Amino acid sequence: MAERHRLYAEMNRSGPVHRVMLPHGEVAWLVTGYEQARAALVEPRLAKKEPPFAEDLDPALRSAINRSMLNVDMPEHGRLRRLVAAAFTRRRVDRLAPRIQQLTDELLEPLAGRVAATEVDLIAEFAYPLPIAVICELLGVPENKRENFRKWSWADVNASVIGLEAYAEAATAFVDYLHDLIAAKREQPADDLTSALVAARDGSDQLSEDELTSMMYLLLVAGHETTVNLIANAVDVLLAQDGAWAHLASAPERVPAAVEELLRFNGPVQTSTLRVAVETFEFAGTTIDAGDTVLVGLLAANRDPGRPGAQVLDLSRSPNQHIAFGHGIHLCLGAPLARLEGQIALTSLLARFPDLRPAEDEILADPGLLINALRALPVTTRPT
């Protein structure tokens, strides 16, 4: 991960906008400067763009996953976002705190003995299962179906690495499952978001069936793939900095500010999703031609060396105007939930394991372009 940050800093030192080759061979502009990244995310001449391989997908599958708010512009965007926005407000989300704490405790309790005796992969044992449990409970996905989600959503965010065939196979299985879930909720509604969306779909002409599956697909992928890495990257950064873990363990009231800084310093999302220029225009000294693809480097922008102190970890930074959750109309809908999960997860880990340490010297980063993830996070409290 250090290598990734070094490269982004080097790019920023030579300018805010760069020509890059994406993994599937497409050439795109990558915006790495902080001010320019914020400007690009609200630039009306940049519209949302489907991934390049979308047109090679079976049309039914393409329509069942690509009709979400994240894939469309105004006015469709507003209509789709409004349908779920109320479920993700800070007030609504704060009510989930006791349940998130309970899920956290259930996962951490059995780790206590093991982490003292041997090394434990904190991603597999904690950072992954917690967010998946939370988003699945919100959407009413039964427990026995959750295991597949890791495979499916990993395939989604790593589509450019694994190739079209593997991506389409995972997406098809995911959509088949969503169709079953929607049918089950239609038959027997429950107190969950899926049932509420099915009622919205059936009760008015606000939502098509494909928009419904796309919405659920987005919520399930976005709702956990990122939060897993918020928790894992936060722990990784804190354990790597001399004394940072112990300092925070002794001052847990500083966790909320620390979570913001960890989101800024080593957030879970490297780049925005794809945008396309709808006309030719000048942007930050570069001519962007109509039809050009543009990506916003959120990780790079957050540590833009052109901004004083941006390369330094400051756990009490305030104000902290990072763009780890994006900016503009597509600003992360789940940010209040992600923050709450991150704060509860970190506070609980610090309280239970004040002497946690990394169990291996080097931890490998996942190769994808979209997500900033570690492959595993082996930790222990065993004295060396």
Counting residues that bind ligand HEM (by CB under 6 A) gives 26
Q: How far is CA 63 from the centre of its chain?
A: 22
- Alpha carbon distance 214, 50 (integer Å): 13
- Alpha carbon distance 312, 163 (integer Å): 37
| Of the residues 40, 212, 269, 373, which one makes contact with ligand HEM according to CB under 6 A | 269
Stretch of 7-15, 214-222, 304-312, 365-373 contacting ligand HEM, by CB under 6 A: 214-222
Query: Does the footprint of ligand HEM cover residue 51 (CB under 6 A)?
Result: no
Smallest separation, CB 271 to ligand HEM (Å): 8
Write b or e for each residue in 238-256: b if 16 or more Cβ atoms lie within 10 A of its Cβ, otherwise e: bbeeeebbeebbeeeeebe
Strand order in the sheet with 357-358: 120-121, 378-380, 357-358
Preceding peptide of 189 cis, ω within 30° = no
| Of the residues 272, 302, 372, 381, which one makes contact with ligand HEM according to CB under 6 A | 272
Query: Does the footprint of ligand HEM cover residue 293 (CB under 6 A)?
Result: no
Structure token pair of residue 153: 């959503």
Query: Does the footprint of ligand HEM cover residue 302 (CB under 6 A)?
Result: no
Regarding beta strands 293-296 and 27-31, do their DSSP bridges make them parallel or antiparallel, or are they unpaired? parallel
| Of the residues 63, 101, 172, 273, which one makes contact with ligand HEM according to CB under 6 A | 273
Q: Which of 225, 298, 309, 244 is nearest to 267 (CA)?
A: 298
Smallest separation, CB 337 to ligand HEM (Å): 4
| Of the residues 11, 17, 70, 108, which one makes contact with ligand HEM according to CB under 6 A | 70
DSSP 330: G
Which lies closer to ligand HEM via its Cβ, residue 149 or residue 380?
Answer: 149
- Alpha carbon distance 5, 297 (integer Å): 11
Query: Does the footprint of ligand HEM cover residue 218 (CB under 6 A)?
Result: yes
Stretch of 105-113, 180-188, 318-326, 372-380 contacting ligand HEM, by CB under 6 A: 318-326
- Alpha carbon distance 369, 272 (integer Å): 10
| Of the residues 39, 157, 178, 333, which one makes contact with ligand HEM according to CB under 6 A | 333
What mask of x and - would describe binding to ligand HEM in positions 170 to 209, judged by CB under 6 A?
----------------------------------------
Write b or e for each residue in 123-144: b if 16 or more Cβ atoms lie within 10 A of its Cβ, otherwise e: bebbbbbbbbbbbbbbbbbeee
Which lies closer to ligand HEM via its Cβ, residue 47 or residue 376?
Answer: 47
| Of the residues 38, 49, 62, 81, which one makes contact with ligand HEM according to CB under 6 A | 81
Q: Contact, 33 vs 307, CB < 8 A?
A: no
Stretch of 93-101, 140-148, 221-229, 350-358 contacting ligand HEM, by CB under 6 A: 221-229
Query: Does the footprint of ligand HEM cover residue 325 (CB under 6 A)?
Result: yes
Query: Does the footprint of ligand HEM cover residue 36 (CB under 6 A)?
Result: no
Question: H or E element: which one contains 101?
Answer: helix 97-108
Query: Does the footprint of ligand HEM cover residue 334 (CB under 6 A)?
Result: yes
Which residues sit at the interface with ligand HEM, rule CB under 6 A?
A: 69-70, 81, 218-219, 222-223, 226-227, 230, 267-269, 272-273, 298, 324-326, 329-330, 332-334, 337-338
